[in-house]
Amino acid sequence: MNSMQGKPKKEMFKVFHFLHKKTYSLDSKEGISRYNIFKANMKWMQEKNSKLGKQVYGITQFMDVTDEEFKKVYLMDPVAMKNQFNTFAGKKVEKKTVENNEAKKFNFMDSEDEEEVTIPLNQSKNIDWRHILLPAKDQKSCGSCWAFAAMAAVEGALNLYQKKKLDLSEQYLVDCDTNDSGCEGGWPTRTFDWLMSNGVVEQKQAEYTNSQTLCKVSSFESKRQNLVKGFQSCEKDVAGKECTRQKWIDLLSKGPVIVAMDASDAGFSKYKPVNEAAWVPAKCDKVNHAVTAVGFVTENGADYLIVRNSWGTNWGINGHFKVPADKHCGILDFAWLPETQEHKPFPVKECPTFYSECGFKGKSVSTCDGVLNFNTTIGGKVEGLKVDDKNDNRLYFNLFTQPECRGEAEWNYESFECTNDHWSYKDKTFVSASPDSANLPWGCIQHYDKPCFSGNRTVLCNSIPDLTKTGFSFTAGSIYIFGYTVKSVVLFENVDYQGAAFGIKNASVYNTKDVAGLQEIFAKAKSVLIIPKAMGEQ
């Protein structure tokens, strides 16, 4: 495209439209509007380069969007980020001490730049990690920069310390990371907490879709790799962990690090230099974008940062940018460095065990999921139950008098060695575990392809306008709706929430066969609307 400069604008726009796979028609009203925006951006670019006396700005995939559109679509939205923090703070942080700065730690947009950090000349040796990473990827219009920044840093650490050059999946994080917010943003501290417990999967196992849909939890059980064991960090607003000059450089010297920045400068979306010319921002305000710092270099007596973006290789310097260290736009205020390891088996979850004889003898089955029928698992009645309640982490069970969650039910969470003292359990033939609602994100539901919360599990945290594009369909089985966070779930027979609708309100369904017509509704469902409760709503 840059070689075409000087050609007629319409000819250039046609090539631009083709190369960047724009979906609007050139002959449409939108096509004409985009062409006018393209011309205005071209004029801005040419005038700016002329004033600078060199090419810093060029034709990127964003030349047909206005600066305001760019900020809205590709950067973090302050209102959405604040809402997401309020949502997650209500259910996630109660398990640990929360400092008054927790909101600032989580929310990119609430972090104000303080005094700029200037790294004195010649205080560090040149660092450049670009050679250890795969080509820069493209997040497209999903606000998933946090996932791309995290995976780039993890890939770099694995290459450096485990000699593994893996292409890891960002989509796995976007769909399944319940600490963060999919296309609505995330924060590295929470991302690493989730990765340490849930691992990573390779790109080929979850290709990027440019949207957040659903997490097919069961399909990843055998694919995830336990490669992240922790992280080191410095964060501007965390007492005792502030990013001093030396801390930030020390972290970068060990490998690529995740950083946060303000990417709203008018020229940033058009950055495409010749000879690795630096981007010099005109103004920096609030950080709104996550990227991966990969280098620190000194050139002609000036210090520069080299940073990997997630807008593809057509943008910037093969997907990277260079910025003066004294105009860093928040980059030197944060750094997260992943610590990796050789794959280790994930810890086995301790689950209640059911026995066919008193005194914890005979045949047994240990499960955190539902058991459809004790006759087919331990050969008959339950005579003993051993529950591990370490850390008071008890798992509640519904015990039914008939298989597949039918008949009368009772709750239980205590051990018993023999049913002589627990006569009410003697004739039970089925047990169903209640899903762990403490680890279920606010406003999410879980679908199981077997009755009684057993079988393959899928977590849905967003309304989905077109289920046909996800490869998922509701089936016979069960659905868990945590009434404290979800007001109702509505299934529609057409895409985009159109056509006949069926609502499930404040109730979980143990066996869809027992609700008249529900399986037929599930089979026809082409879109699903999840209506979460507001925080504190009864």
Structure tokens at 512: 């869809």
DSSP per residue over 214-279, as a string? EE-HHHHTTT-B--EEEEEEEETTSTT----HHHHHHHHHTS-EEEEE----TTGGGB--STTPPP
- Give CA–CA dist 307/322, Å, rounded: 6
- Is residue 289 annotated as a catalytic residue, yes or no? yes
Give catalytic status of residue 461 as yes or no.
Answer: no
| Per-residue buried b or exposed e for 149-162, using 16+ beta carbons within 10 Å of the residue's own CB | bbbbbbbbbbbeee
Tell me which of 17, 183, 234, 289 is the catalytic residue.
289
SS3 of residue 421 by DSSP: coil
Beta bridge partners of 384: 355
**Cα angle 373, 375, 376; round to 5:** 75
Question: What are residue 411's DSSP bridge partners?
Answer: 398
d(CA 184, CA 156): 25
- 483-504 in b/e form (b: 16+ CB < 10 A) is eebbbbbbbbeeeebeeeebeb
Cβ partners under 8 Å of residue 77, min gap 6: 109, 143, 184, 185
Of 17, 142, 145, 176, the catalytic one is 145
> What's 464's DSSP letter?
B
Report the chain's C-alpha Rg in angstroms: 27
Nearest CA to 469 among 211, 217, 175?
211
CA separation for the pair 406, 510 (Å, rounded): 8
Element (H, E) at 402: strand 397-402
Please state, in angstroms and as integers, the Cα–Cα distance from residue 264 to each residue in 56, 106, 164, 165, 200, following that order: 17, 19, 35, 33, 31
Identify residue 369 by its one-letter amino acid code.
D
Question: Using CA atoms, how far apart are residues 116 and 111, in angstroms rounded to an integer?
Answer: 14
Q: Which two tokens stand for residue 199?
A: 């691992």
The answer to whether the beta carbons of residues 235 and 242 sit under 8 Å apart is yes
Looking at the DSSP bridge assignments, the partners of residue 502 are 491
What is the crossing angle of helices 145-157 and 188-198, to 10°? Answer: 60
Beta pairing class for 334-340 and 228-235: antiparallel
DSSP state of 405: T
Phi-psi label, residue 410: left if phi above 0, alpha if psi -120 to 50, beta otherwise:
beta
Spatial CA neighbour of 333 closest among 425, 413, 259, 402: 259
Cα 439 versus chain centre, distance: 15
Positions marked catalytic: 145, 289
